[in-house]
Structure 1
Amino acid sequence: MATRDLVGAACGSPVPGRRAAWTGISLAFAALGRVFVSLDRNFRVLHASSVLDTLVGEGAVEAAIGRPMEELLGADLFGEAGALRLALQNGQRREGWRAMLQSDTHGAQLVSVTAAPLIHGDSDVCDPNAEYVVVMRPASEEINQAETTAFMGIVARSPAMIRVIDLIHVLRDSLVTCLLTGASGTGKEVVARALHMTSKHASGPFVAVNCGALPADLLESELFGHVKGAFTGAIRDRLGRFEEATNGTLFLDEVGDLPMPLQVKLLRVLQEQTFQRVGGNGTVTTNARIIAATNRDLTKQVADGEFREDLYYRLRVVPIHIEKLAHRREDIELLARYFLAKVGVRQGRTLRFSPDAFKALLQYPWPGNVRELQNCVEYAVAVCQRQTILPEDLPSELTRQTVEPTTAHLRGEEPRQSFVDGAPPTEAAQIRTALEEQHWNRGQAAKALGMSRTTLWRKMREYQLG
């Protein structure tokens, strides 16, 4: 189907001005090698430019019309709780997000996505049913770290997390055992679910067990099941989590807390894919994929005799380390916006962070990692009475870093700089240096300074830079 015909279909009526407008927009983006798509209020495709056929394959444009956008770019972006969908519903624009463009006949393509609500104004030139616009371009094979990736629940732009996402792509369709390491709250279960959803067992169950949450005797029954009469209270046979995870994935969280006797039994399962229920004699076979996670140093536990070395290497076929949030500060603003959009939609509110609130988020060390950031956003939404979240709406530990100079002086302490009320006397020079080093690319300079582009722009005006 030609672009001209698609424009007419998108317009819904043969209005010459409307047809010309959509054709002109499509041709303009085509000249830049961009796909132009318009969506209705339900996020279904109204119009797609012919570049989509070039990008994905002949017939892609015709196949896209009327389909939900989540079928093209995935539920992580355009599902009911998708990051881009939530942002658009809140009237926000998003630029440079990476996603896999799906095709029934030509596989998936990595693309860069920009989306925004369509502003109609007083003109009837655009289709009145068009609510949102999406622009896509092919993404180069080399990841541009200034852009955002949203993949299977992982929203990131830091090099550390992009490497994790790349590894998940490499392990696609694999059932290899993985060991996830990292501090509490870094998102190990999110990564485990992503590994599951891209594996051959994606259609099967994802079963999670916290190995540190139960006593040893109860944990054995939880994992392997038991037969009737195995112990007091065992009034019937019970399936364990290994059997529940048949044709799926068993996620063993906090595997470093596993008692030594259960380590032996787990090792046998990994070696032979068989086990016995508690109190039973029969052998049960399992095909569940094992993904383990821990916030402990298992190498030290092995050296101290607290964890079996042979089990450690059986679990560590593919090691994946999740960095602390403090070590991937590029993700803080992105995650904060993502959580704010989710909470805002759930509560029917449209909120945003002030530049100073973002600065407080970026300066805080986040000992509780992503989980603490999510809780922080939930708190801010609950207490904020405006549309803009200010520093005073954040939990007290984020703003406690400010010490009044007079009070500090009386205590004999060096006064600490307020992150909100003032700027260091050398800040203008630091900003100028960063801009010069990045050849006055504001996006890269903001990233180097650890602040948002909005904050950088405001400070450039304040210090009359550029």
Structure 2
Amino acid sequence: MDIKAIFEASYDVIYVSNGAGTTLRVSSACERLFGVKPEELIGKNVRDAEKQNIYKPSATRLALEKKQKVSLVQETKCGKRLLVVSIPIFNENGEIVRVVNASRDITELNKLQEELEETKNLVQEYKREVLQLKKEKESHDKLIFKSPQMEDLVNFAIKVADVNSTVLITGESGVGKEVFAKTIHDSSPRKNEVFVKINCGAIPENLLESELFGYEKGAFTGAYKRKLGLFEQANHGTIFLDEIGDLPLPLQVKLLRVLQEKEFTRIGGTETIKVDVRIIAATNKDLKEMVKEGKFREDLYYRLDVLPLHIPPLRERREDIPLLINNFLAKYNQIHVKDLKISNEAMEALISYDWPGNVRELENIIERVIITTDNNFVKLEDLPGGFRQNIAPISIHVSEIMPLKEALEVVEERLVNLAMEKYKTTTAAAKALGISQASVSRKLKKMRFLPHF
């Protein structure tokens, strides 16, 4: 096969120039890859072709300038990307007499690499979204309720999550103020930023200011280096100030400045620090009364109370108690590798109790009885003494209108529990109730795995 046949048969561009850069010969593949015919290039200097953007950069020009082999990626006027190897040929005097280029089309390879990179980025984005959805679901799953009051509060919390206004959460100890604060954060545009929490009543007054606002090196004895406060750490995120009613009056002034101006100064410093932070505060105290007594600044109170959210105590939403009990049963059964269920009498006692410690106290009691109970059922006698005094004889008592279907489910659950306590097996319980054993099993399963709202 002669040299001409090789040139014409080659899928790649073979490009030959002289020592001055003038094109001597080029294979027919140039029409497909350069967008010009061979005869349009022959006699043309590679520098002129480069200026006309037929291809750039010119590998031949660089090989002539560097007097050595050159490899590079070249772009052509028709949008192709070529991998070019340019080899100079020298005479006996060390002068370049020819430059031979071989150019291979890598456009599709680059497209594949770009598509692969886009796919990787897309997968990473999906992973981030899935993790965020999981995080939000875990946060919302902690809010377990059935009562209309709680449903209204959750809807309110999700609604106010989209704005940056301050939220003041009030309620007795143990009602779940931090859970609500975290739900607001996780439902907000700041959900991918930090959530910083501090209990204002748990830190001594002389340390609280430095925790919140930080200090400069040398601000006091022992301040060997600068420390960032929690407000700086929470920048672009959310800070949760629990027990805000315990904040000393001098620090209330500093907090008011952060709320009004979004700025503060570190202890021992002169620089004004600007922050972008969402503030959620919580307290179990009556701040209005504290304002009257001069223990809490009135201007700070109104700055905090922009979006008030009051969580009712557990005794005012008793319909939530069975759901919470079943949730804690499932949680601590798994932790302690048990499979305990709760008897009807024990459930009635727990529902009747006033729960001064609210959800936190309820969770502690459920964990305790799971650890200390040896039977398959948590019975009334397994509860602490105070609970046994709370229970009245089991009876069906209707004090308000409720959906008939819901009432039937409550009665059905009590009857099934009573039958299982008395007869121990689903077969015997089914016979006593006049239903099939499969029906009893289904009802027990449904009662055991109550949905999380």
TM-score w.r.t. length of structure 1: 0.59
CA change 1:389–1:396 in 2 (3 A) is same
The total of aligned residue pairs comes to 296
Determine the structure 2 residue equivalent to 1:284.
Answer: 273
1: CA distance, partners of 2:196 / 2:131 = 28
Partners of 1:206 and 1:309 in 2: how far apart?
Answer: 27
What secondary structure, in the 3-state scheme, does the structure 2 residue paired with 1:207 have? strand
Q: Does 1:151 align with 2:140?
A: yes
- Aligned residue for 1:251, secondary structure, equals strand
Corresponding position of 2:406? 443
1:231 to 220, 223, 247: 220
Residue matched to 1:355: 344
Asked if the contact 1:202–1:248 (Cα under 8 Å) also holds between the matched residues in 2, the reply is: yes
Cα distance 1:386–1:332, how it changes in 2: closer, same or farther (>3 A)? same
Residues 229, 282 of structure 1: alpha-carbon distance in 2 compared, 3 angstrom cutoff:
same
Q: After superposition, give the CA deviation of every residue in 1:376-417 in whole Å (9 maximum; x if it has no partner).
A: 11101110112221122223322244xxxxxxxxxxxxxxxx
Q: Compared with structure 1, are the counterparts of its residues 199 and 438 closer, same or farther at alpha carbon in structure 2 (3 Å cutoff)?
A: closer
Pairing 1:271–2:260 present: yes
Write the distance in 1 (CA, Å) between the matches of 2:233 and 2:415: 52
Q: Where in structure 2 are the equivalents of 1:27-426 lying within 5 Å?
A: 75=134, 151-401=140-390, 418-419=391-392, 422-423=393-394
Determine the structure 1 residue equivalent to 2:414.
455
Change in Cα spacing, 1:74 to 1:217, as seen in structure 2 (3 Å) is same
Gap regions ≥5 residues in structure 2: 1-125, 423-432, 434-453
User: Deviations along 1:302-352, whole A, 9 cap, x unmatched?
Assistant: 111111111111111100000000001011000111111111122222221
- Does the 8 A contact of 2:257 with 2:263 survive in 1? yes
Q: Deviations over 1:97-144 (max 9, x none)?
A: xxxxxxxxxxxxxxxxxxxxxxxxxxxxxxxxxxxxxxxxxxxxxxxx
Greater helix content: 2
**Structure 2 contact 236–276 (Cα < 8 Å) conserved:** yes
Shift of 1:235: 1.7
Amino acid paired to 2:231: F
Distance in 1 (CA, whole Å) between partners of 2:164 and 2:172 is: 25
Aligned-partner residue type, residue 273 of structure 1: K
Structure 1 residues 192, 378: CA separation in 2 closer, same or farther (over 3 Å shift)? same
Deviations 1:14-50 (A, max 9, x none): xxxxxxxxxxxxxxxxxxxxxxxxxxxxxxxxxxxxx
**Equivalence for 1:145:** none
In structure 1, runs of 5+ residues without a counterpart are 1-66, 83-149, 402-417
Q: Return the TM-score normalized by structure 2.
A: 0.60
Alpha-carbon deviation of 1:216? 1.8
Q: Tell me the CA shift for residue 71 of structure 1.
A: 5.2
* Cα separation, 1, equivalents of 2:132 and 2:215: 44
The secondary structure found in structure 2 opposite 1:151 is helix
- The one-letter code of the counterpart of 1:270 is L
Q: What's the secondary structure of 2:228's corresponding residue?
A: coil
C-alpha change, 1:72 and 1:270, in structure 2 (3 Å) is closer
Q: Distance in 1 between matches of 2:188 and 2:383?
A: 39
Q: How far does residue 242 in structure 1 lie from its aligned partner after superposition?
A: 0.4
**Matched-pair identity in %:** 44
Would you say the 8 A contact 2:177–2:282 is kept in 1? yes
CA displacement at 1:73 relative to structure 2? 12
Point out the more displaced range, 344-353 or 370-379.
Answer: 344-353
Q: 1:453 & 1:249 partners in 2: Cα distance?
A: 46
| Cα gap change, 1:227 to 1:438, in 2 (>3 Å) | closer
Q: Higher Cα Rg: structure 1 or 2? A: 2
1:263: how far off? 0.4
* Cα displacement (A) at 1:212: 0.9
CA-based RMSD of the aligned residues comes to 3.0
User: In 2, Cα distance between the equivalents of 1:291 and 1:354?
Assistant: 40
